[in-house]
Every structure is written in structure tokens, then in C-alpha cells.
Structure 1
Amino acid sequence: MGLAQENRYASIDQLIRDRAKTHADEPILSYADEHGDFQTFTGTDVEQLTRTAATAYRKALPEKKGHFRVALVGVSSFEYYIAFFALQRMGLTSMFISPRLADQAFEHLLTATGCEVVVAAETSMGTMERVCKTNGSLAAVIPLLDMRSLLALEPEDAPMVPVTVVGKQEFIIHSGGTTGLPKPVVLSPSAWLAQAADVAARMPRADTLTTLPLFHSFGLATLLRCLVNGTTLAILNAKRPITASIIISSIEATFSTALVTVPYILKFFTEIPGGVERLASLTQVIAAGSAIPNDLAEVLLSKKTRIYHLYGLTEAGALMEAWSTDFRWVTPLAHAAPFLKFEPVGEDLFHLVVMPGLPAKVYSNRGDGSYATKDVFRPHPTEPGMWRFVTRQDDIIVMMNGEKADPTPLEEAVSRNANVRAAVVFGAERDALGMIVIASAAAKMLSMQGILDSIAADLDLGNSRVAGYARISREAVIIKPAGTSFPRTDKDTVIKPRFLELFAADIEEYYEARAQARATNELAVVSDDEVALTVRRIVAKAMNLSTVDDEADLFALGMDSLQASHVRSGLVRSIDLHSATLTTNVVFEHANISRLTRHLLDLRQGLSTQQDAPEALAQALIAKYSHFTSPSHGTVTEGPPCVLLTGVTGAVGSHLLYNLVLNPAVAQIYCPVRAPNSSTARTRIHLALQHARLLPHLKPTTCLSKIVALPCDFAAPNLGLPASLIAQFASTLTHIIHNAWSVNFNHSLRNFEMHSIRSTHFLLTLAASSLRSQKPTVTFVSSIAAALCAQPAHAIPEALHPWSAVAAMGYAQSKWVAEHMVAAAAKNAQVPARVVRLGQVCGDTEWGVWNSAEAFPATVQAAWTIGSLPLVEGERDDEEESWLPVDIAAKALAQVALAPEQDKSTFHVLHLVNEAPILWNAQFLPCLRKHGLEFEAVPQQEWVRRLEASEQDVHLNPPFKLLEFFKTRYASTQGASQPKFDTTCARKWAPCLQGGVNISEELIGKFLQYWSQGNQAKSC
């Protein structure tokens, strides 16, 4: 039973306190950094962070008596979420304000709600300072705590006083301002939390990735639903563009099985290979904000995508849910049905009105207390109670991305021009708006271009009065000649539905030309130089900049989706792509001028549309990061072994640190850890040792005192370490062991440059520039994946291999690049270097601690969840598993890293793999049965079918999280021979590997006991 059905909450404070108990060590939030790496936050983390943030905000807020309201202005970042939680826990009302509003709209919202304090993100501070000058009631604007500042705060030990006056700390969200100024809508936390519980109870429990901002009412509803239900909500980085590839990699990285987004984003998936299929593999795809265009709906339905299309309003909450057979039709939710009235407004058309009495309804616009939604529906011809959204009763245009645009300011501004008879904006369910202008008799002697020139200033005026997404470029104006007839009333008012119907062909032709056709008045670019120049010109024009650097990130420069759309249109009109097409999101997929130019040239030449050719990129990275300078002769000779060790918070790293600490010859171990300060870095190290059950064996005075925790940022130059420390390392470091790496098997090679490859270059440079007479020995922990596809006559040798040997995934390719960088440092800078390719690591021999989220443990958990395990089929009807216990692997790594040079060579490659493999079918499965595990052994593809048909809640059925991986792993029954790796050098350098390591029945029993503890905890 889900948590949503067990508890009802009156406040955010109560909910966060409860999650700190129920999810003390389980993630409830996950947020991506600017490089796409996700950091998870447990219930305990969120409770502590919000308590600490509340203390900081309390000090920053002006002293006011009683209850007051605080506005939040900024993009929907992790800091924004924490600020919302903190304000709620302080008992204050939080008002979400979109950062895209005009100054007049900000002033109106602050005045209408009596809000006197604004917490603003850095990017919104300038805007709010302007508003301050014109709004005398605004008492304070304080900065939003950024991520680094937030995590650097000293943890608040004092407990918060529970919120007891329920109803005071409201939420305030605002309408889009599409019919004038935005209106504030006050929401009750208890009502919205109750609604979240009701909705959660109707949906499969699933960890969810959201693309919606928190100031979007459905974004807020999604957060509350996940919190109430006890599932993890993953949030994309607010500073990065939203692309299909980013969403897919984020789904994989967070193991999310549900996606919450808008129809506009869903369209991106139809434009990449396998995109819709990946959507269809999710437990649910929740679309909000606007109707899904019919063509897109047909594609999604054809792939059996599980769309959950919820219809609701900020003013009244969730009202209708999608029909299970066809998500384009909705039916009233049980709690809302008695309060929904469909008023006839035309033939087969009905206007939805929400009647008084619905608990979630907080706004009325009729005298009887009802709320007229202005949404028009059509009933299903054969299924009573099923409705399909048709249009807005008023003139509001609902765009494809869910934005609601009011055309009135634009139409009024242009219509006042003497050369204009009528001006009508179009763009429903499109990604950008356009306008049809009927010329007046006064313009009879003007050319089409002359008419367009004459209204340019009026169009600019109209654009200044609407949000950025609703602006119209000159290229989007269709001019119809004077005398063109159009539908109008007796009062000479345009009848818009009939007007748009009359000119539907013109509108369709415009969008087709915008998407694919070449403008007849522009020449197709033919030379490579002209392509680059044209891209620069189009980008600069769209962004209203004089110049744009070729390598500058366009999104970081402030490009929005409308500008990206204009750039794409300009590229299509200006550059002959020889029948190739540009994807809708091409500008953000190739987000600087250099990459965009290269992509266009590849398309023109009929080359692969992949963003980077992996081998060429790999060679370019090696060339870029293989230059090292070093002093001619080092002079420092004194000092005991001093080690710099990265990656200490992982399983291998914590055991490796344990081995080094216990080695009496090692004086100091410096441990760079991703953290904002030394205290947090030290805590992370201790937690990793505690998880591995190693901390109790280390004495604080003699062992832990050797560890120096260094807060760092692996994406920053020099890891973000101070220059004084780097200078100290030049004379003290004797060994560098590089074990840290981004572990994401879905990232492309380029994704590893910033965090992993660049940091490797820094460490190699550190060794090369050492002042010691004997340069520090560098040990790089690689992976057998870097040579997995080598095909020697016998065993894969302990040596560097060509590109053809590397496994076809970014993780393996990045390790291959780093291996060649290490070899270059050894050759060109005389750095003693060892590349250690590590094989499959399993749990330790003492406790059997093996992360249950990994593939093999997750497979075994299926015995508890679906009652079966796979029988592997292959050329020998079995599979060898070369598992190396993590404590043995760490001991071997320590022996290799600290060993003196064995010969005159400065570069060595070693394979740390277990030469005593275990057979899955013949040995491992029977051993599990001996230890009491009950299961049915079934052929591998049958097992995958059973898993696919089983419980989709990954909290109750963890193996389901890896369903796509298992589909790939067990797709073929032909099997493949397991490559054999030569270990001659490794056995000589690491004596603990001699003869292999026996994966005994006793050890398997320890694994099983450890996994069963986690399984029992989940079932409690």
C-alpha cells in the first residue's frame, strides 16, 4: 500500500517531518547539475536542508510581526524548491511568480496580494530592483540561496517549531495573464495535499522525472504527489535546455519510470531514433498544460505509449483524467464529477463550468459562486461521460508547449495602423505564433514589403506588451492585399474561428515553409565558409547581439525557445541541406555555433547525424589532453609516502582508502570529494566507510587522522583546489591513485570530458610538474570495458589497444581516452604510470555488502518479487561470472599502486580480474537454493517476459527498474563467449590475486543475507 493512502497531511512541514522518518536513507528528490549528473537527497537531507535554509532566511527577512507573504521569483532550480519548503516550514505563505512576466505584472501581483518581501534568484534581481523603484510597498528583496551557499551552510541542530496554525501558510500561484494582468490564486496546502493523495492512489507508484517548473500549477501538483506517495522526483537543471536526449539520459541516470512534461516536449521524441519507443517503455507519461495535437497523439498511440493526460485548473485542481483506451478523451474524476457542468454553446460543443462545493475550487467568476473555465469540449459520439477538449471559449491561444498567449495586445497594436484593415494572430498547438494582416484601402498603392515595413513599429510595440513566448517576428506576418474579404459581425468585428478557417491554407503553408521549404528570395549557401558565416548571422540576429562567440553556449547566453525556433527557421530558409531536415530542437541539441555548423555540414554531405563521431572525438580528446610540461630535474627527495586518492566514496574507493590507512608506511592520504566544505567532505568519507562496515575498525587517532578531506569540484579547473595546496603537492605527493569517474552508461563520450577526462589531465599534470626527484607514481583505475572487444588469438594482453577494442558506450570510450593520456604522460613527461583495468566487482568477503541496485543483485531480487530467476542460454548453455570481491580488488589496487617499479619501463597495464569464475546456471543458482532462496529457474527470455508483466512499482519490485537493460542483456539466446584477460603482470604486482579468488557457497550466502535485509525493509 502506498504512503498516499496511509496518511493525510495538513502542511508541508508535517509532510517533510514524516519523510525524514519514512525515507531517512532513501532519496525523495534528485537534481541534475549543469553537466547532467544527478545528486540525490534523502528524506533526512531535505529535512535538514530546509531547516538550515529556514534559519538563514529568517535572519535575512525583515522583522515583521505576525504572518506575512513572501514571493519566490526565479527559474525552478533545486534552490527554488528548498526555499519554498523553508518558507512553508516557517509558517509563511509562498507566492510562486514566473520570472518571465513583465514589470507591470510583477507590480500587480505584489500589490494584489499585499506581498512585501521577494526572494529572488540572481537572474531576477535586476528585474525586481526595477519593480522596487515603482512599488513603494515592497519592503525587501533578498537573494535566493544558491546551491553552493546552501550546501555550505553549517547544519542547523536546533529543531524547528512545528507548524500548528494550519491554513496560514498558503500557496499562491498565478494565472498566465492571458486576458490582461495575471491574477493570483490562493491555494490551501491541506486541500492540495489531499488531492495529491487521491491522484497518487489512482496512478502506479513510480519514480518520476519532471520538466515542469514549480510555478506551473501541475509542476507543483507533481511535487506534492511524489512527496505524499514517497516516490523520488528527479528535476532537470533549470539552467539547461530541455531536449529529448537530455530527458532520456536523465531517465536512465535516475531510473525514473514516469515522465511529467508538456505536449511540445513529447514532439521531440518523434524526431530522434527510438525516441517514441523509449517513451512507450515508461510506466506512464503524464502530459499537462495543453491538448496533445492529433498527429502526435496518433504516433504515441501507435507505439502504445502509456499517456496519463490529466485535465485540471489552478483555480479548481484536478478535474478529469484520460480514458484508458484513448488519452485524447477525458472523463471526470470521481471527486469532481458532481461539480462539473457542461453548458451547450454550439452544435455538439459544451463549455465547462465548475460549480460551488468542490473543495479544491478557490476562485469564482460568476455571481452564483461557480467558475466558468472558458474551455470548450465535445462529447464522445458513443461513450457517455467522455469529453475531448476543442478550444478556448475566448480568444486565448494555447500553444503546443502549453503556454497560453493573449493575442489582444498584438492585434490592437497592429490594427491601429492606418494601413491595416484587420490583424489576427494564429498559432494554436504550434510552437510559435504568426499573424495575418488584411491591408486597408489606404495601403492600396503599397507593396507587400511596404505594408510590412509600415507596421514594423506597431508590431514591436505589441511584442513589448506580451511575454517572450508570444512575440511575433516580421517573418511570421502574412500580408493579404487590400479588398480581401473576411468574416465579420454587424459591428465589424472579426469572427475569428471563421477567419482562421478561411485562411487555414495560408497558415498551413506558412508553417510548412517555416519547417522545410526554402524561401524563394534567398540563395542557398554552397561553401563551408558561407555556412559558418550564415549561422553566425542568423544566431546574432535572433538574439539581438552584434557578435556571438563560436564556442559560446547559446542557452547560457540567454537564448529561449522562441529564439531557437527563429534560428531554425532561418537556417532552413538560408542553407540548402539537400533534402535533409532539421529536428525541431536542433539548436539546443547542438548548442553553440561551431557544433551547429558542423551538424549542418554533415547533413549536407549525407553523413551521420550523430553529434560527434566517437573515434574522431576520442582522438581529438587525446591530442587535446596529452601535453605536459615538467621541470628538468626534481630535487626534493625526503618525505614518507603521501597519497592523493580520488573516488573514496564509492565501494572500491572506500576499501582502497581502508587499505592505505592501515598501511604503516603511508603517512597521509588526501581525498578530493565533491562537497562545498571540508566538514561535508569528511562526513561523506565517513559515511562511505560506515556503509562498507569499515569505520569501526579505524581508530580516530592513529588511522582516521591520516585522512585529509578536500572539498572539490571535478568539473572545475584544478578540481577547484587552492593554489597553495597544489604548490604543496609539488614537493610532498609520492603517489596519485585516480579512481573517481562518472558512472553513467548512457552518456556519450563528450559528456565525460568536463568531469572525468579534464580532471585526469590535471592529476597527470600534477605528477609531471612535481619537484621531487622521483615523480609521483600515477595509478589510473580503468575498466575491462576499454578492451572488451579486442579479439586476440588467446587472452587479451595487458597493453594498450586500438579503438576497435573498446566497448561501444561512452563510459568505456572515456576510459580508453584516459588510458592513452596516461601513456602519453609516461612517455613524454617520464611519469611512472600504471593503468589498472578492473573487472566485475562483487560484495566483500567479510560482510557480503553488494549494492542491491546493481545488475546481478537486482536479478536475484526477482526471486522475491516475481518468483523466478533466469537460466542463461548460450553456446555452452551457461555463463561464466568472473566476480572479484571488492575488498580483494582494493587490496590488489593498493599493492599495485604502492609497488616499486618492476623494470625500466615507466608505463604498465594490468588486468585485475578473477581467474576463478563461477557458472551461473550450474553453480550460482543451486547455491542460492541451498541457502533457502525459493524460485523457479526459467529460460532467460521467459524471465524477461515475466518481469515485464510484473509489478511496475520499482519500490516494491526493484528489478523492474532495469527492465530495458535486461531486455538487451538477454535478447539473444545464442550467447557470446566471454573474453579472457591475461593477468600475468597483475599477479606479479598483486600477490593477493595468485590462483584466483573462490566465490564460495559461504560468500554467496553473505551476499544473499545482505540483499534479503534490504528486501525485508522494503516489505515492512
Structure 2
Amino acid sequence: MEPSDSYRKSDLFVASHHTLPNPWKFAGRGDDRITTSDGVKILPLPLEGEIQQHHLVREAVVFGIDRLETPGMMLFREKDADGVRMSDTEFLNIIWPLIEDLKDYMKALAEITKESVLVMPEDMTCPWADIISIKRTQPYSEFASSIDELYNRLDNLRGPGLMLSMPELEIWIFLRFKELGITLLGKKSDFFGSGVDSLKAIQMRELIMKSIDLGGKAEECAPLIVLDTGNIEKLARKLVAIREGEDVERGNNDQIQIMEGLIKDFCFFEKHVPGSHSDSQDGKVVVLTGATGSLGSHVLAHLATQSDIRTIHCLLRPTGSTGISPHDSLCIGLQKRNFPGLYPMTTRRFPDIQPQSSDISKPDLGLSREMIRSLRMHATHIIHCAWEVNCALPTVSFRQQVASVQNLLKLSLTSTRSEPAHFLFCSSVGVAMRTPSTIPLVPETPIPSLTHCSPTGYAQSKLISERIIEKAVAEYGARATILRIGQIIPGGGRGTPKWNQNEMIPLLMRTAISIGVLPSRIGTRFGDTCSWVDVNKLAESIIEIAGLSSQDEGQIYDNGKNKGHREESQLVYNIVHPRPFSWFNDFLPSLKLAGLQYNVVSYREWVEKLSRSKIDLENNSSRELLEFWLAQLGNTYEFDEEREIRFDTQRAQGKSKTLRDMVNLVEGLKLVELAKGIINT
């Protein structure tokens, strides 16, 4: 008999047998689990239940959600249990030995002290659920002021922060990271490369705020200070600069200097030497990265339908010690993206899809010598889709991503064919999001200044890569195309209908649930215009621009005048929807039609509300990107239509029939379906 869907009721179960796989035991309600801001998930019911067995205790409630501090506890006294009135201190002294004994069973609660216990008055009641258990969120809300007072009192007990010298501060940071489970090899070891993710960075910042003397300037300790600085030495220098009142921007490496440094590190190549191996009629050979990602899987799906492509080599991230083969990795990835029949092919036909385990951040791409030799001899195109999509990471954390651009360009330039393999790089419109208002339309040309880039590490890493490609083309003879891509939305008709949860729009949309409001504009630079591109149409456009489409290879279109003529060399194409819609007039109403309830406020008010919301990586992940949202304000708090960034797509439309024929998403119920996709992500 099939089990009921009772497991969907937010109840928690634990395995109840050490060898049998299926027995499960009820452990509590979903809201019984609390999560501290350092990511520790605690199920305190066993401890609470044992304490409640004491005849003096009516209810025990552990708290600590959204706090880095160790959890505390509220004790609700039983009325006149012994017929003797006693003070809170006397009551706690009686109960404390029991708490001490029970803490041995739960290491996560081991540091609860007497000072972190709140003894509630006898006449104070604790909310109960219908099934005779605590409504855990209610006591947190009802007694929030008492909990805050307790933590403020604990902060005062800590005394002044540590006044450490630069060497002492470096040692302190090293030891604190070690306590958080991160071992750094040296003071210049890259945080991100050593396993410091956003959660660990938040934990470290909280420890700094509590323990280190910042000279009364704690507000200058930015939310992303740990990831922004990148290593122990730079973090210590930044903290000393804050405390001493030095020029913090100068104390911290200037972002432009960081970008220039990365460009310099990765733009060394050797000129292509035409080989004796000439182009044959056997078909094209494509090297593709990111084939299991959203865009890459759609590109692969379109490549697989082209009759003149012989082989597609999919370079896949190594699976480490999991034992999963490249074949299985590609199968799993494509099934996840809703392309289950794409690989392996049910019938033997061209193109042949060849998955390869590859670390593209390494000079040899993590491939065998034989495979490198084969790719140099046969590869005609390299399409680079793979990239870390995380707007919260600093620029230095994308070093390996930037290295991959250099390595793939080197593969192209060392081709033994008559010309280098055509390298196509999927960039981002973020590289131009700070273009001055004096430039009304971002052209399909290189970005003239690094200052035109969005302040996120993601966008800056893309612009760094663009500069490296520009140099490879200008000085070393590379054949390359930069595809400057806008906001990608789920495809219609094929592939997964779900949004990437880490992208900007889904993150922004979730604030309708977490804080109950959405902005009337998407910042001053994104403004009101939504030129979003369907990932399926985008992939098709990329194939056409690459000259890989069987139908329209190498053709251009200019009002029909130049049809049939091959276009001159073009380095950059802007790929955004040529027929945008309005955020305020079109998309926000579609969200309400899709069932989402929220209020509309100005972008400034939205950012302010988000900044006051709790840090909750599970339910309020948009809060983690606060600095990114703030950066979209630019130098003004209000929307200015003249400052809104727009992109010229004339050249891209000329190369891609799919792009120039894109229909407006406002038609029919397309936007409503799009909105539902975000809500259900």
C-alpha cells in the first residue's frame, strides 16, 4: 500500500534503525528546527522535553535563530509548583544542574550559559499549536524585545574589542577560520579557493564585529568585506585601515587595479602559425563548455540538429571522488535540464557527442596529450558557456574562470589548421551597466573603460575576459567573438521551464515573499526596460552568429539590401531582446495575475526594507546581495529614464534571424507563465 502524503506536512523524521534503510521515526515539526546565522541547524525538542519533565518547569524554548551567538533558552515557570515563592535566580539555580547534564547530549547547545537563559514570569504563557507543541515562531516574535535585551547584555559583558597589530590580526583571522573549518595555507591564500563561501564569510564578519576594535567605525565593515578582500593579509590591512581612519579604498586594493592586474596576468599568448592541416569537407568539430548548464544544454541541443557538425566535445567539470563518469555526468545533467533524449543518442548519427572530464582552469585543460592533439587538429569552433553565476562573489574569486578563457584561447591559437578555431565567449551586459549617460546606446564594440562595468565580481570578471580576448585578437591573430548577453529567461517548448535560482530576477522576486514588497524599477541603471531573452532562442541565435546554423550560415540582413553577402569581421555582438517590455506596466501586473501578493515601493525604499530584514540564507537569500542592490542606485536615489542603459543590437540581428524575429513577450499570456515560473522556482 502506498504511503499517504503526510510526509509533505513539514514534519521531520529521522532514521530509526542503524542497519535497515526504511524505518523512520517522527522527530518534530518543520518549524521546530532552528537555524543560527552560522548555518547550524538544531532540533532542540529532546533537550526541551527533558527539561519540561522537571516539576518546576511548564515550558522550555530554545532560541537563537538568525543569531551567530550560541542559542539561549526561555524557561516558563510552573505556577506555585512547590507552594514556595522564589526569585528568578533561585529558580535558575535549581534547574541549572539539569541543563548542564543535558547539554552533553547536544553539542550545538553546549555553550548555553546561565546568562543566556531567560526566566519568564509565572503568569506568562507560551503559545501552543493545535497538536500540543510549541508554535516556535510565536514566542520568538512575542518575546523578541526580551531576547534582544539578553543579547545586548551579553555584548556588554564582552568588554571592548581587541586592539591587535597587523601581524596579530593576521594570526587571529587564521585561527578563527580554522575554528570555522577552513584551513588556509598562508596569509595570501585565496579565501574562495580555500573553501570560504558566502556563509563562512558572513560568520567571519560577525566574529570581527564582535571581537575586534574597529575604532568606532564598525559601519565601514562592509557585509562582503571578507570575500571582497580575498585573503588574510588584505583583510587584516583593511581592518587596520578602518580602525586608523585611513583611506579605506586606498588601503584596500582598488577594484580597477585588481581588474588590470588580472588582465595582465592572463593575456600572454603565442601567435597562430597556420598548419598544413587544411579545412576538410568532413564537417565541423565544436568544443563546448557548460553543456550541463542552462544555456550550455540548449546550445548543445541546437548543435545536435546541425547536419554539417561532425563532433561535439563537451568539456565537463571533473566529478572528483564520486566515481561518476563523464558519460553519466552528461546524462544526469541533460535529464535535469529536461533534455533526456539528447544523450546518449538512440540511433547512431552525426553529430557525435563526446563528453570529456576537463578542468579548463588548467593550462592543459585537464585533458590527455592525445585529446589535446586531436582538438588542435580538428576543432573548428570553441563555445565557452561555463561560468560561476554568483553576484555575491568578489572579482578575485573568479580568477580560475578568467584563467579558463586564456587556456581555451591558447587551444584555439595552437590549432594545426590553416586558421585558429573560432572562439565564442558568452559575456554579459553587466560589463556596461555603468556606462555614462552621455552614451545613449551601448554599441557592439569593446567597452572603452573598466569604470563602465557593474561593480559585481561576476560582471567585472566578464569584462576582464573581454579585454583578454581583445588583445588575443589584435596582437596574436585569434579568431574570436564576444557575445554580450542580457537577462536570460526559461525557454519555451524545450528544456527546463525553471529559472536559475541564483540569477538576479528570481532573487529579486523572492523579496515579495520575504519582505512583502517589490521595487517599481529595477534600479536606476536597469530602469524599466526588460529586454530578456528566452534561453532557447538565445542558444539558436548563438549558433547562427557562430556560423554553425545549416540554414543561415554567414549571412547578414540589412532590410533585405545585403542578403547573401558575408559580413565583415565583427568582434562584439549585443544579444538582448529587440522588443523589450515594461517592468512596471507589464511584468509587475503579470506577477499578481500569477498569484503573487506584494506592495510596490520605490527602488530606494525597497533597498532600505531589504537592508533592515534578517539575514536568512534559506528564506531571504536576496539579503546576501545587499551591496549589489545598493550599487544599482548609482549616484542618485530616483529613476531617471535618460540614465537607463540600452544596447544596440543591429549587428547581432543582422547575423541572427532568430534574434530579429523575436516576438514581444507581452503578447498573450507569456508574461504570466514567466511569472509563474519565478514563483515556483
TM-score band, normalised by the shorter chain?
0.5 to 0.7
Q: 1:11 aligns with which of 15, 20, 29?
A: 15
CA contact (8 A) 1:873 1:940 kept: no
String of CA shifts for 1:492-540, please: whole Å, max 9, x gaps.
Answer: xxxxxxxxxxxx9xx98xx87x625x8xxxxxxxxxxxx99x999x99x
The 1:704/1:647 distance shift into structure 2, 3 A limit, reads farther
The 1:727/1:940 distance shift into structure 2, 3 A limit, reads same
Matched, 1:686 2:331: yes
Q: What is residue 352 of structure 1 aligned with on the other side?
A: 95
Q: 1:619 aligns with which of 260, 263, 272?
A: 260
Taking the aligned partners of 1:837 and 1:211, their CA distance within structure 2 comes to 36
CA contact (8 A) 2:292 2:333 kept: yes
Matched, 1:727 2:392: no
Q: What is residue 412 of structure 1 aligned with on the other side?
A: none
Matched, 1:920 2:574: no
Q: What is residue 58 of structure 1 aligned with on the other side?
A: none
CA contact (8 A) 1:873 1:973 kept: no
Q: 2:304 aligns with which of 661, 665, 690?
A: 661
Matched, 1:700 2:340: no
The 1:695/1:864 distance shift into structure 2, 3 A limit, reads same
Q: Give the secondary structure class of the aligned counterpart of 2:546.
A: helix
Q: Give the secondary structure class of the aligned counterpart of 1:797.
A: coil
Q: Which amino acid aligns with 2:163?
A: A
Q: 2:601 aligns with which of 931, 934, 940?
A: 940
Matched, 1:829 2:476: yes
| Identical columns (%) | 20
Q: Which amino acid aligns with 2:435?
A: A
Q: Give the secondary structure class of the aligned counterpart of 1:331.
A: strand
Taking the aligned partners of 1:783 and 1:556, their CA distance within structure 2 comes to 23
String of CA shifts for 1:429-486, please: whole Å, max 9, x gaps.
Answer: 99xxxxxxxxxxxxxxxxxxxxxxxxxxxxxxxxxxxxxxxxxxxxxxxxxxxxxxxx
Q: Give the secondary structure class of the aligned counterpart of 2:470.
A: helix
Q: Which amino acid aligns with 2:543?
A: A
Taking the aligned partners of 1:909 and 1:723, their CA distance within structure 2 comes to 33
1:855, CA displacement in angstroms?
Answer: 5.2
Matched, 1:162 2:21: yes
Taking the aligned partners of 1:555 and 1:936, their CA distance within structure 2 comes to 37
String of CA shifts for 1:635-677, please: whole Å, max 9, x gaps.
Answer: 2214431111111222221111111111111111111122427
Aligned residues: 573
CA contact (8 A) 1:630 1:770 kept: no
Q: What is residue 546 of structure 2 aligned with on the other side?
A: 897
1:815, CA displacement in angstroms?
Answer: 0.4
CA contact (8 A) 2:494 2:536 kept: no
Q: With the length of structure 1 as denominator, give the TM-score of the two structures.
A: 0.46
Q: Give the secondary structure class of the aligned counterpart of 1:662.
A: coil
Q: 1:771 aligns with which of 398, 412, 416?
A: 416
Q: What is residue 811 of structure 1 aligned with on the other side?
A: 458
Q: Which amino acid aligns with 1:816?
A: L
Aligned residue runs from structure 1 range 701-716, under 5 A: 701-702=347-348, 706-716=352-362
Q: Which amino acid aligns with 1:685?
A: L
* Unpaired segments ≥5 residues, structure 2: 106-110, 125-153, 179-184, 195-203, 548-552, 556-564
Q: Which amino acid aligns with 2:422?
A: T
1:824, CA displacement in angstroms?
Answer: 1.2
The 1:344/1:886 distance shift into structure 2, 3 A limit, reads closer
Matched, 1:644 2:287: yes
Taking the aligned partners of 1:342 and 1:723, their CA distance within structure 2 comes to 83
Taking the aligned partners of 1:710 and 1:925, their CA distance within structure 2 comes to 43
Q: Which amino acid aligns with 1:737?
A: I
Q: What is residue 629 of structure 1 aligned with on the other side?
A: 270
The 1:338/1:5 distance shift into structure 2, 3 A limit, reads farther
Q: 1:672 aligns with which of 296, 304, 315?
A: 315
The 1:163/1:688 distance shift into structure 2, 3 A limit, reads closer
CA contact (8 A) 1:879 1:920 kept: yes
Q: What is residue 608 of structure 1 aligned with on the other side?
A: 248
Q: Which amino acid aligns with 2:246?
A: G
Q: What is residue 736 of structure 1 aligned with on the other side?
A: 382
Q: Which amino acid aligns with 1:889?
A: L
1:828, CA displacement in angstroms?
Answer: 2.2
Matched, 1:786 2:418: no
String of CA shifts for 1:316-356, please: whole Å, max 9, x gaps.
Answer: 9x9652499x9997323799x999x9999998972535669
Q: With the length of structure 2 as denominator, give the TM-score of the two structures.
A: 0.65
Using CA pairs under 8 Å that are at least 6 residues apart, name the structure with larger relative contact order, 1 or 2. Answer: 2
Structure 1 range deviating more: 709-718 or 797-806: 709-718
1:739, CA displacement in angstroms?
Answer: 1.0
Taking the aligned partners of 2:424 and 2:119, their CA distance within structure 1 comes to 71
Q: Give the secondary structure class of the aligned counterpart of 2:356.
A: strand
Matched, 1:330 2:55: no
1:737, CA displacement in angstroms?
Answer: 0.7
* Unpaired segments ≥5 residues, structure 1: 14-87, 92-160, 167-189, 213-218, 229-287, 289-309, 364-372, 387-428, 431-503, 519-530, 558-563
1:827, CA displacement in angstroms?
Answer: 1.7
1:633, CA displacement in angstroms?
Answer: 3.3
Q: 1:798 aligns with which of 427, 433, 444?
A: 444
Q: What is residue 908 of structure 1 aligned with on the other side?
A: 571
CA contact (8 A) 2:60 2:73 kept: no
String of CA shifts for 1:790-834, please: whole Å, max 9, x gaps.
Answer: 235432111111112111111111100000011111122211111
Taking the aligned partners of 1:946 and 1:832, their CA distance within structure 2 comes to 47
Q: Give the secondary structure class of the aligned counterpart of 1:645.
A: strand
CA contact (8 A) 1:748 1:809 kept: yes
Q: Which amino acid aligns with 1:763?
A: L
CA contact (8 A) 1:321 1:331 kept: yes
Q: Give the secondary structure class of the aligned counterpart of 1:1001.
A: coil
CA contact (8 A) 1:5 1:201 kept: no
Q: What is residue 974 of structure 1 aligned with on the other side?
A: 639
Higher alpha-carbon Rg: 1
Q: Which amino acid aligns with 1:748?
A: P
Structure 1 range deviating more: 886-895 or 915-924: 915-924
1:727, CA displacement in angstroms?
Answer: 2.3
Q: 1:842 aligns with which of 489, 499, 520?
A: 489
Taking the aligned partners of 2:119 and 2:490, their CA distance within structure 1 comes to 60
